[in-house]
């Protein structure tokens, strides 16, 4: 188990470019299975979850060619469906939550798919009902083998229909869209997720020959086609990494320029950090975070305590609530963090309390943070990273703390953040990787 040793209290300075978006990459990479023609994808992040998925695709028969450090060519001409019955497939696919999105393209193209129960972060219940109910409405049937935790999905024919999704699941919507683009007739998906990552997927499919309208809204209309061709696609910068860098700059009193942010795709993220009192300057497509001695949390207009809660897009993304919570510990003022979607994502606050933060964990979904206003710095401790986002939140806390901190189980961080230690050290951080 690898660890980070962090010497805190160091100010950073310089430019940093966010990696490609992990959550988009997982969708886009699964989508290459839908066409036998070459698909070139740029800005692919070099992180564990993405690399594992590329390896899985290669095992399935996808011809993968690495063009540059972040660009790949995929050709899914000869897919080996028999590989889905192997123990190796079960092991690799179950270790990766993003693998659930291979169902849609396989069903669209081959009318059958298999999938073990997927893994991923232990952050709470992440049900798959939306995926399967949506695919069933298109004409697919599935059975679950409880003996080996395998889902078997097949369809003699996929037919377009109207469906109202029971929740605006991003991966659920992606799976249904990937199947519907090659279904007969028209499919209408209401209460669809409309995250930028899903917009990117739909735009890519349209360039391949799909007929999707309503992109960016929660009402998608899809006219089925018989064949999809190749294309070229560039993945968005990771909005979670951008938010993490904003929070890091504020916590450490650093001056950082975040390059090539695609500000038009960030939604509420900049404004939420601004309400925490963090100054941001938008310079073209770059975000400049100036050095600040302190930052003060805003209140609502009636004077009541600010609440930051996750919502479906275009609301605030749940992946950044952990970052907001950490940043708030050194702000002036108080804030209520309300994590609605996942019941286990706030269970890292005990580490922050051990570091000296003043946090009241109200219940599994809510925490009240009383900001210390940088009057009492956090202190370094030894801790474990429970999941990707909590891991980076603890890393940010450690970089602002006095003394040395150690974060164990950093494989969780590596799953979502590309060479994070090297990139931050280049700005002046003191992070040592221990194997």
If DSSP states are collapsed to H, E and C, what string results for 352-386?
HHHCCCEEEEEECCEEEEECCCCCCCCECCEEECC
CA 65 to chain centre: 25
Residues 208-211: contacts with CB within 8 Å, 24+ apart? Answer: 208/34, 208/35, 208/39, 210/181, 211/181
Looking only at the bridges linking them, the beta strands covering 382-384 and 404-408 are parallel
The answer to whether the Cα torsion of 225, 229, 230, 232 is positive or negative is negative
- Determine whether 171 is exposed, middle or buried from the number of CB atoms within 10 Å of its CB (0-12, 13-18, 19+): buried
Peptide bond into 314 cis (omega under 30): yes
Q: Which of these is catalytic: 121, 319, 387, 421?
A: 121
Residues 236 and 21: beta-carbon distance below 8 Å: yes
DSSP 399: H
In the numeric block, which tokens belong to residue 148?
């080996």
Residues 291 and 11: beta-carbon distance below 8 Å: yes
Is 121 among the catalytic positions?
A: yes
Active site (catalytic) residues: 121
């Amino acid at each position: 188990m690898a660890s980070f040793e962090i010497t805190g209290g160091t100010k950073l300075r310089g430019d940093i470019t966010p990696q490609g978006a992990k959550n988009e990459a997982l969708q886009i990479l699964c989508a290459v299975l839908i066409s036998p023609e070459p698909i070139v994808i740029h800005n692919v992040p070099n992180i564990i979850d993405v690399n594992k998925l590329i390896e899985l695709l290669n095992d399935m028969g996808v011809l993968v060619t690495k063009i540059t450090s972040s660009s790949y060519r995929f050709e899914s001409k000869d897919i080996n469906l028999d590989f889905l019955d192997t123990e190796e497939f079960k092991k690799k696919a179950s270790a990766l939550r993003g693998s659930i999105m291979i169902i849609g393209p396989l069903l669209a193209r081959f009318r059958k798919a298999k999938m073990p129960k997927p893994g991923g972060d232990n952050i709470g219940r992440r049900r798959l009902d939306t995926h399967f109910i949506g695919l069933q409405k298109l004409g697919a049937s599935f059975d679950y083998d409880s003996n080996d935790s395998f889902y078997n999905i097949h369809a003699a024919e996929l037919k377009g229909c109207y469906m109202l999704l029971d929740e605006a699941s991003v991966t659920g919507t992606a799976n249904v869209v990937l199947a519907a683009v090659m279904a007969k007739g028209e499919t209408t998906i209401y209460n669809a997720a409309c995250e930028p990552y899903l917009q990117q997927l739909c735009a890519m499919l349209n360039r391949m020959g799909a007929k999707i309208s309503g992109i960016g809204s929660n009402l998608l209309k899809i006219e089925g086609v018989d064949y999809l061709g190749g294309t070229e696609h560039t993945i968005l910068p990771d909005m979670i990494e951008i938010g993490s860098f904003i929070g890091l700059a504020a916590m450490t009193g650093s001056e950082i320029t975040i390059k090539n942010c695609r500000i038009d795709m960030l939604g509420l993220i900049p404004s939420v950090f601004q309400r925490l009192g963090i100054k941001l300057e938008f310079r073209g497509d770059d975000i400049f975070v100036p050095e600040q001695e302190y930052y003060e949390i805003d209140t609502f207009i009636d004077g009541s305590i600010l609440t930051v809660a996750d919502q479906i897009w275009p609301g605030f993304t749940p992946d950044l609530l952990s970052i907001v919570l950490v940043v708030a510990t050194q702000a002036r003022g108080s804030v209520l963090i309300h994590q609605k979607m996942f019941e286990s994502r706030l269970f890292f606050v005990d580490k922050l309390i051990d570091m000296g933060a003043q946090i009241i964990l109200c219940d599994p979904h809510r925490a009240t943070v009383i900001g210390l206003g940088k009057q009492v710095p956090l202190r370094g401790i030894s801790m474990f990273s429970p999941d990707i986002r909590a891991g980076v939140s603890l890393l940010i806390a450690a970089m602002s703390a006095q003394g040395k901190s150690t974060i164990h189980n950093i494989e969780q961080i590596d799953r979502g953040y590309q060479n994070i230690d090297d990139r931050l050290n280049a700005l002046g951080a003191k992070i040592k990787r221990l194997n």
